[in-house]
Structure 1
């Protein structure tokens, strides 16, 4: 898998309104959260459709982020955007450092044990206080595996779309 592909990656969403001048509250999935403004263009996606936006600005405020979007100058227009996902092309994100991975690149990968036993595919990942966790699904079965390189995760091969883990398949 190549970092130049054009898959759309969800990096946040519009969750509310701030004031009367058209500012919106964001939930950012980037780290740090204000990094969301470094990637563009944004593709705002909702059930009503999609629109491309460039030049968004914002600031951290409390536990969230307040953003100003171009051409959104009143509360009524901003209200139409609440609930939109904020997506960018995967190619807009920088290449991860060696040993680091974007969750979006791991989702869908096959998970096998070091003995070659298939455990399923990564449905999604969860952040916990101590480490990330892969949610691996195989039919009706779901496993939660810690994403700890070298301890449990022995290899990540994005080209082969496979993660090799040291894990008991009965667990």
Structure 2
């Protein structure tokens, strides 16, 4: 399983964010990828700033203690990099490796309809929480009569019974009253 936090053809996925500028030409990078260094395998990077998309190429990167630093092509002056602080880094989902039929990226689960094995609709996946031991699907139901939210552990086999990517559906063994 791989992580990435619905037009599949041109969908940009958040893979990290920029931190503060550091030294001459460097800026800190906080990666959200499962293996932190993998963020540098995805090219190019996109940043949304003031309602505009900006595209960047990584010129070079390095590990510095617990931080990762990068230099971006065409951004050398500190004033040119300051606006990037706290901006999220996006990549095109097409840059991710192709997965097998029974594999998926977390971002593909967002928006999927969740129902119990008995056919009761619970809602849609609105987010995924990483808890350490196992991840948790946040499933929300919102309609005119009620709002309800379930936190469903992502345990394949015991709780998550079936994921049908094409139909955008997830089937779970879950008590809706829990």
Residue matched to 1:150: 157
Return closer, same or farther for 1:113/1:56 CA change in 2, 3 Å cut-off: farther
1:54 shift after superposition: 2.1
Select the residue among 109, 115, 135 that pairs with 2:118: 115
Contact in 1 for aligned 2:139/2:149 (Cα 8 Å): yes
1:154 shift after superposition: 0.4
1:163 shift after superposition: 0.5
The C-alpha deviation readout for 1:15-50, integer Å capped at 9, x for no partner, is 21112x121111111121110111111111123522
Q: Hey, what's the Cα distance between the residues in 2 that align with 1:60 and 1:154?
A: 40
TM-score (norm 1): 0.90
Return closer, same or farther for 1:101/1:74 CA change in 2, 3 Å cut-off: same
Return closer, same or farther for 1:57/1:99 CA change in 2, 3 Å cut-off: farther
1:12 equivalent in alignment to 2:7: no
Gap runs ≥5 in structure 2: 1-7
Q: Hey, what's the Cα distance between the residues in 2 that align with 1:162 and 1:64?
A: 38
How many correspondences in the alignment? 168
TM-score (norm 2): 0.87
Gap runs ≥5 in structure 1: none
The C-alpha deviation readout for 1:35-89, integer Å capped at 9, x for no partner, is 0111111111123522111234322334432111111112221102112221111
Residue matched to 1:73: 76
Contact in 2 for aligned 1:37/1:56 (Cα 8 Å): no
Further displaced range: 79-88 or 58-67: 58-67
* Coordinate RMSD, CA, aligned: 1.8
Select the residue among 141, 147, 171 that pairs with 2:148: 141
Divergent runs of 4+, >6 A: none
3-state secondary structure, aligned to 2:10: coil
1:161 equivalent in alignment to 2:168: yes
1:115 shift after superposition: 0.3
Q: Hey, what's the Cα distance between the residues in 2 that align with 1:63 and 1:108?
A: 34
